[in-house]
Amino acid sequence: MKFTDVYLQTATKILVFIIMTFSIYILFAGHHNPGGGFIGGLITASALVLLYIAFDLQSVRDIIPVDFKQLAAAGVIVAVLTGTASFIFDVPFLTQTFTYVELPILGKTELATAVIFDLGVYMTVVGTTMTIITSISEDEK
């Protein structure tokens, strides 16, 4: 009997969106509540792993055409650049700042440069985790 993944695949299609949303929420909640780039990245990676389990490597690669190695590298660049901006403003390296702005829907929102650093961490964690998992699963010999 051929085993079909119809339950798994259907559930995955819904769950991946929930997990992704949650991971983004966690990423941005990090400043005032538990969360942040590291755990957010791991949750996103877990959503991607769920896709890999339910479908196969090739079809996931078709829908998410991202080179995870380069994503990790880009993450480090983003994180480092938030630090190097201090050279322009003549403040110590890695100084962070924040401001309050009125956004259309969200209202009064706090924007901090630490979030950009966290975004870099997030990208690096997703990239590294997925590189590890995909390169182990592709190893055939």
Partner 1 sequence: MNNLLVLPLLIPLCTAVILLFFNKQIAWQRWISTISVLLNLTVSSVILFQVKIEGIQTLYMGGWLPPYGIVFVADMLAALMVLATSVVGACCLFFAFGTIGKEREKYYFYPFFQFLLVGVIGSFLTGDLFNLFVCFEVMLISSYALIVLGGTKRQLRETLKYILINILSSTLFVAAVAYLYGVVGTLNMADLSVRIGEVGQDGILNVIAIMFLVVFSLKAGLFLFFWLPGSYSVPPAAISSLFAALLTKVGLYALIRMFTLIFYNDPAVTHSWIAWMAAATMIFGAFGAMAYSDIWRILNYNVIISVGFIAVGLAVGTEDALNGAVFYLLHDMAAKALLFILGGTLVITAGTSRLTEMGGLIRRYPLMGWMFFIAALAIAGIPPLSGFTGKLLIIKDGFQEGYFWLMAVSLASSFIVLYSLIKLFMAAFWGEEGQMVSALPKLNNGFILTAGGMSLLLIVMGLGSEWVYEFVSEAGNTLSSPATYIDAVLRSR
Contacts to partner 1 by CB under 8 A = 69-70, 72-73, 76-77, 80, 83-84, 86-87, 90-96
> Does residue 16 contact residue 47 with C-beta atoms inside 8 Å?
yes
CB of 121 to partner 1, least distance (A): 14
Distance in Å from the first CA to the final CA of the chain: 29
Q: How far is the CB of 70 from partner 1 (least distance, A)?
A: 6
> Which positions ≥6 away from 118 have C-beta within 8 Å?
27, 30, 31, 36, 37, 40
Beta strands in the chain (DSSP E): 98-103, 107-112
**Closest CB to partner 1 among 50 and 74?**
74
Give the nearest distance from C-beta 86 to partner 1 in angstroms.
7
Nearer Cβ to partner 1 (40/75): 75
